[in-house]
Amino acid sequence: MAARRNLVNANRDMFKPPTFVSNATALNRLQNKLRRFLDLQAGSIWRDLRHELATARGNLLDVGCGAQVYRCLLPPAASYRGIDAADAKGRFGYDVPDTHYFVADEWGVADASCDILLFTEVLEHIADPAAFLARARRCLRPGGRVVMTVPFAARWHYIPEDYWRFTPSGLARLLDGAGFDQVDVRARGNPLTVACYKLMALPLMMIGQSNLLVRGLGGLLLPLVAVVAAIGNISMVWDWGDDCLGYTATARAKL
Ligand SMILES: C[S@@+](CC[C@H](N)C(=O)[O-])C[C@H]1O[C@@H](n2cnc3c(N)ncnc32)[C@H](O)[C@@H]1O
């Protein structure tokens, strides 16, 4: 049997998708739209947040905001503030003006000062998610809401800064323990969506290989990506099964 890698000290992704760009220009917006069609994770998050944020009111804090791609979904009744870890640029490739970059988990946010806390695809990168959620709870006024997304069937990414995958029951326990109630966890996609997502990754992985034959085969398979992406996008109208791309969760800070 071929020797398998000990992954404990891995520090490099095999495949790194381009980071999102902010929605500043029409070209950026077009780029992000195309990305959301081809990247089923990103597309499914966008769809859920478009719905979740449509009725947002008051102060919204986006923690680990990256390129602030969901900021444009906020209605005028909500004000936006984006914060991110100071090493977001070095580790994740994000460096966006109008973001407060903090060090050592000192968010610089007053207790009970926020109406909504948003964090998308952040919790899996946090070494101590329970402490992170407790801090999030303190920033929210009682009755305020948290809106979050986490990946489930996703590659190990930003290696090694990707520590966890969460299940609905795990999220419910964590949120309850941090002082939240009215927990709601919805799956993004289903087993068919996951199959499409994995299938689409294959040609891209093959193209990244050094073996010319594998690369050539990957190139030949590339046109299939658009067809599978279309099927994957359509598949998301059905809610079934116990596998999915990820979860969108909301909860209320206990009164
Ligand atoms: C996969 S990116 C997601 C970015 C953005 N939320 C999005 O959905 O496009 C993960 C983000 O988590 C942030 N992050 C990592 N560690 C963090 C921490 N301890 N506190 C807050 N954010 C953190 C990273 O800087 C990065 O912006």
Residues near 11 by Cβ (< 8 Å), separated by ≥ 6?
Answer: 159, 160
36-84 per-position pLDDT tens digit: 999 999 999 999 999 999 999 999 999 999 999 999 999 999 999 999 9
| Residue 65 Cα to ligand 1 middle (Å) | 6
Distance CA 98, CA 82 (A): 7
The whole-number pLDDT of residue 173 equals: 98
The whole-number pLDDT of residue 10 equals: 94
Burial label for 179, CB within 10 Å (0-12, 13-18, 19+), is: middle
The whole-number pLDDT of residue 94 equals: 81
Beta strands at 140-151 and 58-63: parallel, antiparallel or unpaired: unpaired
The whole-number pLDDT of residue 229 equals: 96
* CB atoms closer than 10 angstroms to residue 178: 21
The whole-number pLDDT of residue 42 equals: 95
pLDDT surpassing 90 at residue 96: no
From 50, 107, 118, 122, give the residue whose CB has the most ligand 1 atoms within 8 Å, as the site to mutate.
Answer: 122
Q: Which domains does the chain have, with CATH numbers?
A: 26-190+244-253 (3.40.50.150), 193-227 (no CATH)
Q: Confidence band (pLDDT; 50, 70, 90) for 19?
A: confident
Distance CA 143, CA 29 (A): 34
Q: Residue 114 pairs with which residues in a beta bridge?
A: 140
Q: What is the DSSP letter of 5?
A: P
Residue located nearest, by CA, to atom 25 of ligand 1: 88
